Chain A
Amino acid sequence: MIVCSDISKSYKHGSVRKQVLRDVNLSIVPGERVALLGRNGAGKSTLIKLIGGVEMPTSGKISRHMSVSWPLGFNGGFQGSLTGYDNARFIARIYDRDYCDIKAFVDDFTEMGRQLKMPVKTYSSGMRARLAFALSLAIEFDCYLIDEVILVGDQNFQRKCHAELFEKRRDRTMILASHSTDIVRDLCTRAIIINNTRATNYEDVGAALDIYSAL
């Protein structure tokens, strides 16, 4: 269970303050797959970062009663100057996992071969996403935070993600920021629309998508 109570987030730049989220309340029960919908810049990624603990809310409180992955997206979580394997080793260490197991899974899932011995900064965003997914799948979280990335990969990657995430790990909780109406309709059990700093919850995904399309 993840509970956000009254969270607000604003960013300060010089004397300007930009309010991104205001008084967001939501709770996510194990097994739910929640879609975050909203236009560019509405605050989907910000909410995912707050839930993942990457950034702190300006006010309000988030409590997590299950293990939550880091936000899986184009960037973040990696040190660019280190190789894919070095990053994997670092992550294995801080999550207290056996590096050999993680390495085997990463080799198998990413199919990146020798690229894994190159610095992460040389990777394309698709490759980064592969690596991030592979690592987070190898660690096994109760809840996966997914920021857009499912769409960046090629066919093969999308197939693998689908198999690993939505078939083998169907029971897991997921929070998914996406613009793809198809993915949301097929996979999510409920939707949250973020618009104008407010988050509104919709139990009916179809209805939410209709409203979202009209935004």
Chain B
Amino acid sequence: MILSTATWTRLRKGWSIQIRVIHALIIRELNTRFGRENIGFLWIVVEPLLFAGLVGIIYRVLRGPEEHGVSVMAFIATGYIPITLFRNSIGRCTAIFIANSSLMYHRQVKILDFVISRLVIELLGSMIAYVFIAAVLMAFGQFPVPADMGLFLAGWALYVLFTWSLCLIIAPLSEMSEVLEKFLPVVTYVMIPFSGLFTMASWLTPDMRRYLLWSPFVNGMEMMRKGIWGDQLTAYWNVWNPLGFSLVFIAIGLALCRHIRKDLAVE
């Protein structure tokens, strides 16, 4: 055995503390954000649902029921749910440390836990929304039975991983520079065309495709859609792209978080 038993016990203890803290943070966050009134935390589900649903309907009206052989409603939904997850997660992680600094009074709460717990909340909300919207569209014959669930989940996981790695960088950076904080909403908006939301890479010219496939989001999205539609569409992806970008960003993000924790002044 490489690790001694003492190290193992310490690791296990640390792990259980971390899980406990994240659990507590999630409940606390849900309480503060949604309160206990009206539909409460269901809002995290309703928001992506409304987004994907309404935009889907608009496209359905503008473009007709099908495009490139797939249902327009379903295509938009599969694009919008991940992008709402991404945009909300980025929005939620700006100025996260100052806003939560009173929790730094408890040593077992690490700043990383904030970033994790918020992403988990967004993740839960968007996954429930995804299942819900897919079920509804399926009932109307607008959504296929996923051809390859494993591929879909792998794409989703990569998409989420990359989103989280970005949050990990943006959270500390937004603390250091106010300019960045102001620019973020614009940037996340401008990047929509590069997220693979409206198009498959195969619908583009080879040149465009080559550039677009540099985007980790596009790779994840292609995998998800291939997983859903299977042979009905052609997809291009490279697993190593989102994986590589995420790992590099996580490394940078962790270093930045460590740096910011050192100077964090708590009232």
Contacts and interface: CB of A to CB of B under 8 A. Distances in A.
B32 interface: yes
B192 to A, nearest CB: 33
B70 to A, nearest CB: 45
B202 to A, nearest CB: 49
Given A58-B262, A82-B28, A90-B28, A77 B106 contact: yes
Given A75-B267, A76-B266, A53 B23 contact: no
Given A54-B104, A78-B102, A94-B106, A86 B28 contact: yes
A91 B20 CA distance: 11
B266 A49 contact: yes
B105 interface: yes
B31 A94 contact: no
Contacts of B267: 75-76
Contact of B265 (A11, A53, A78): A11
Nearest to B113: A94
Contacts of A19: none
A96 interface: yes
Contacts of A79: 28, 32, 102-103
A52 interface: yes
A70 B28 contact: no
A55 interface: yes
Interface of B is mostly: helix
Nearest to B104: A54
Given A49-B266, A68-B107, 7 more contacts: A53-B107, A56-B262, A77-B106, A82-B28, A86-B31, A94-B24, A95-B106
A159 interface: no
A71 interface: yes
Interface string B1-37: 0000000000000000100110110011001100000
Interface string B209-230: 0000000000000000000000
Contact of A76 (B27, B31, B105, B263): B105
Contacts of B23: 93
11 contacts: A52-B107, A70-B106, A75-B267, A76-B266, A76-B267, A79-B32, A81-B32, A86-B31, A94-B24, A94-B108, A95-B108
B15 to A, nearest CB: 13
A11 B108 CA distance: 23
Contacts of B261: 56
B109 interface: yes
Interface of B: 17, 20-21, 23-24, 27-28, 31-32, 102-109, 261-267
A54 B105 contact: yes
Contacts of B108: 94-95
A55 B106 contact: no
A12 interface: yes
A76 B265 contact: no
Q: Which 8 A-B pairs have the closest CB atoms?
A: A93-B24, A77-B105, A53-B107, A70-B105, A76-B105, A56-B262, A94-B24, A54-B266
Among A81, A86, A90, A91, the one with the most B-chain Cβ atoms within 10 Å of its Cβ is A90
Contacts of B21: 94
A56 B261 CA distance: 7
Contacts of B103: 77, 79
A147 to B, nearest CB: 11
B266 A55 contact: yes
A94 B105 contact: no
Interface in A22-56: 49, 52-56
Among A12, A49, A54, A81, the one with the most B-chain Cβ atoms within 10 Å of its Cβ is A54
A82 B266 contact: no
B129 to A, nearest CB: 26
Interface string A90-112: 11011110000000000000000
B107 A82 contact: no
A68 B263 CA distance: 22
A150 to B, nearest CB: 18
A90 B105 CA distance: 13
